[in-house]
């Protein structure tokens, strides 16, 4: 079997990875991308710049479908310093450098979504219904959230002149009374008088 878990070792640190295709190909990809300057892991690139090529060691052979779970096991067991995250299936928890954050920020400045993209995002939400559990979580999260008088004034000012369709005076009174009742139920002073 030529698939499984491997370790890239530098004199003071190491990286744990999985080779679901083959050890030989995975080793070649790491080494050639390091030499070409196209490797995607800044941690490994920095160690390569300091020490040169790492030692490639096979830790465990396993079937390709088991590589991810076995890699996760070895990461938790050995605690490698060069792996970006402790979770093999997610980048959640990966720390971005300030330089990377600035690059990401600059790449988005001045760009807006195309009309087609905005339409596809809007279409994806049509007909979607929240479960009762989700509604309860949203409700709980919004409890005891109040806006200051200053914020209330800003919101009011921003909405001045907006048309909400034809509304009778009775409808307007009902809306205001509903807001007052909501505020009273939350034991707060209403920002509408």
pLDDT digits (tens, 9 = 90+) for 45-62: 999 999 999 999 999 999
Q: How far is CA 123 from the centre of its chain?
A: 22
Quote the pLDDT of residue 88.
79
Quote the pLDDT of residue 177.
86
Quote the pLDDT of residue 172.
83
Cβ-contact 5, 69 below 8 angstroms: no
Cβ-contact 180, 140 below 8 angstroms: no
Quote the pLDDT of residue 7.
96
**Residue ranges in the chain modelled with pLDDT below 70:** 1, 90-93, 163-165, 186-193
Paired strand residues for 6: 17, 58
Q: Report domain extents, the chain.
A: 4-78, 135-152+169-193
Report yes or no on whether pTM surpasses 0.85. no
Quote the pLDDT of residue 188.
52
- When the candidates are 3.90.870.40, 3.40.1440.10, 1.10.150.120, 3.90.1150.200, the CATH number that belongs to 4-78 is 3.40.1440.10
Q: Which residues of 71-91 are buried (b: 16+ CB within 10 A; e: fewer)?
A: bbbbbeeeebebbbeeebeee
Quote the pLDDT of residue 123.
87
Quote the pLDDT of residue 187.
58
- List phi, psi (to 5°) of 176: -65, -45
Cβ-contact 132, 124 below 8 angstroms: no
């Amino acid at each position: 079997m030529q698939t499984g878990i491997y370790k890239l070792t530098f004199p003071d640190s190491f990286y744990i990875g999985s080779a679901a295709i083959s050890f030989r190909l995975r080793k070649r990809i790491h080494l050639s991308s390091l030499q070409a300057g196209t490797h995607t892991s800044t941690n490994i690139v920095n160690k390569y710049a300091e020490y040169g090529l790492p030692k490639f060691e096979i830790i465990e052979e396993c079937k390709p479908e088991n590589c991810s779970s076995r890699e996760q096991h070895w990461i938790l067991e050995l605690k490698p310093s060069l792996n970006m995250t402790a979770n093999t299936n997610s980048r959640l928890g990966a720390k971005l450098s300030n330089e990377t954050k600035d690059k990401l920020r600059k790449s988005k400045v001045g760009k807006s979504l195309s009309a087609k993209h905005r339409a596809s995002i809007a279409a994806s939400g049509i007909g979607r219904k929240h479960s009762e559990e989700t509604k309860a979580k949203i409700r709980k999260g919004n409890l005891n959230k109040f806006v200051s008088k200053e914020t209330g004034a800003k919101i009011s000012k921003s909405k001045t002149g907006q048309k909400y369709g034809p509304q009778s005076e009775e409808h307007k009174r009902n809306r205001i009374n509903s807001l007052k009742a909501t505020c009273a139920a939350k034991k707060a002073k209403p920002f509408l008088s």
